[in-house]
Amino acid sequence: MGTDPLHELTAAYVLDALDPADEAAYEEHLAHCAACQEEVALLSGTATALALAAGPADPPDALRGRILDAARAERPNVVPLRPRWSAPLAAAAAIAACAVVGLGVWNISLHHRLDRTESALRGVPLHGAAGSVVLGVNGRAALVVTDLAAAPKGRTYEAWVIDGTSAASAGLFHGGEKTVVVQLGRRVRHGSVVGVTVEPAGGSAQPTTQPFITSAAI
Amino acid sequence: MPRDLAHLSDEAIVALAARSDEVAFGELYDRYGRVAYGLALRVLRDEALAEDAVQEAFLAIWRGASRFIPERAKASTWILTLVHRRAVDLVRREERRRADPLEDTDLAGAERSAEDVAWLRFERERVQGALRQLPDQQREAIELAYYGGFTQSELAERLGQPLGTIKSRMFAGLTRLSELLDAPAKGDAWAPTPFTN
């Protein structure tokens, strides 16, 4: 596990046994340490086994109703803004958050449009258009948009994977179909945002306009 | 309108809950409420507090469902991690921790199905068997931390050992436990999630 003493805290972290200061330090470390992320994923599964081994018990019948009532009182569930979003994206999301975003494309048939070895389960909602970003494994992802008008003559839509302030081109498409599926040419990671801009035909190396479609943070 | 969600995976149910689907959220509670309550009760040893922990955890699930990423963890891991976290937070606040072993909870409750009973019993025996294979000191560190809610520095003090020793015992013990549980533990953590069960 290398030499960083924080690596050693993985077990205590997944057991919820770190003191608050250690936990904050470890989580900061975890955000940048791929080895620890893998270790946490593995050992979290083991902690789940410990949870199951505690043995189930019947909660009072009334608990179910209380929880559902409390949940109902909290919605609508708007995807929260995250501080790490860049300001323009946060602004776009804030506007979009006020609109009702339809999500009609999250369905089984989508599986067959994507790599069959992957399960396309997770749809990250879009702001600015109906659709979602569907995540496969290892950061592979597809952008799915419905009811998007064709790009204006001489222009193209360009998808971007945006990490912090840097945007990487992830594919060109034209729209005009009921549903368009764009396999993203870049991998996404935790915190990435997928955006779409209108660009001159042939695409641009960097966005020349503000994204008019943005996803929630992956 | 009633719908049958039984054929959907946990991850698919979470995805529906992320879209404010209350029926799906109820289904999630029906699947995990008893395991969650059993875990909370084991840590808290108090029925009212265990209810609080389960309620807080499920509301965290409701609020956080849209941020759940199935490629990173199984839904069961995510859910039970939240339940454990709430239970530990409460036990620390209430100063309720106790270290003596808890008697077995009765498994013969009103389970959803005979398969559930059999699977939970199988899983539980498997984990307990694996725990028994750990060196005593490693098992003690893991059980006191996970079920007792003690932090590693509290354990060092309680057991009269240097903090580094406690860290090593936890790490070695949990890693060994993971190996003993082997394929399921590894597969559970990273395998792509099937759409249906």
- pLDDT tens, position by position, for chain A (218 residues)? 445 677 789 999 999 999 988 888 888 888 888 888 888 888 988 999 999 889 889 999 999 999 999 998 886 544 433 333 333 333 333 323 322 222 222 222 222 223 222 232 356 888 888 888 876 556 667 787 878 888 888 999 999 999 888 899 998 888 887 777 777 878 888 889 999 999 998 899 999 988 999 998 88
- In this predicted structure, what is the pLDDT of residue A60? 95
B125 vs A51, higher pLDDT: A51
Backbone angles phi and psi of A58, in degrees to 5 = -80, 115
- Cβ proximity of B37 and A56 under 8 Å: yes
Q: Kindly determine whether residue B152 and residue A19, on different chains, have CB atoms separated by under 8 Å.
A: yes
- Cβ proximity of A144 and A105 under 8 Å: yes
- Cβ proximity of B194 and B9 under 8 Å: yes
Rounded to whole angstroms, the Cα distance separating A109 from A74 reads 32
- Cβ proximity of B91 and B53 under 8 Å: no
pTM of the predicted protein model: 0.61
Closest CA to B56 of B74, B79, B35: B79
- In this predicted structure, what is the pLDDT of residue B186? 37
Rounded to whole angstroms, the Cα distance separating A158 from A198 reads 6
Mean pLDDT, residues B85-104 taken together: 73
- Residue A5 tokens, joined: 């003493």
What stretch of H or E contains A43? Answer: helix A34-53
Mean pLDDT, residues B7-28 taken together: 90
Mean pLDDT, residues B126-155 taken together: 94
Pick the residue from chain B with its C-alpha nearest to A15. B146
Rounded to whole angstroms, the Cα distance separating B57 from B164 reads 32
In the numeric block, the tokens 């597809």 are attached to A142
Mean pLDDT, residues B93-112 taken together: 54
Give chain A positions within 8 Å (CB) of B123: 49, 52-53
B188: pLDDT confidence band, cut at 50, 70 and 90? very low
Pairs across A and B, CB distance < 8 A = 233
Pick the residue from chain A with its C-alpha nearest to B72. A41
- Alpha-carbon gap: B10 to the closest alpha carbon of chain A (Å): 11
- Alpha-carbon gap: A51 to the closest alpha carbon of chain B (Å): 6
B187: pLDDT confidence band, cut at 50, 70 and 90? very low
B96: pLDDT confidence band, cut at 50, 70 and 90? low
From the list B38, B77, B178, the residue facing A56 with the nearest CB is: B38
- Alpha-carbon gap: B44 to the closest alpha carbon of chain A (Å): 12
Q: Kindly determine whether residue B185 and residue A46, on different chains, have CB atoms separated by under 8 Å.
A: yes
Work out the percent of chain B whose per-residue pLDDT is above 90: 55
- In this predicted structure, what is the pLDDT of residue A81? 36
Mean pLDDT, residues B104-130 taken together: 64
- Cβ proximity of A85 and A193 under 8 Å: yes
Probe site for chain A from B13, B34, B54, B77 (most A CB atoms < 10 A): B77
What's the first-to-final CA gap in chain B, in angstroms?
A: 23
> Above 60 in pLDDT, residue B64?
yes
Residue positions counted in chain A: 218
- What is the rounded average pLDDT for all residues in chain B? 81
B99 vs B166, higher pLDDT: B166
> Above 90 in pLDDT, residue B171?
yes
Residue B130: C-alpha distances to residues A52, B31, B126, B138, B187 (Å)? 13, 25, 6, 12, 17
ipTM topping 0.85: no
Give chain B positions within 8 Å (CB) of A51: 35, 39, 80, 83-84
Closest CA to B8 of A148, A107, A147, A170: A107
B44: pLDDT confidence band, cut at 50, 70 and 90? very high
Q: Comparing A115-129, B16-30, B92-106, B179-193, which segment has the lowest mean pLDDT?
A: B179-193
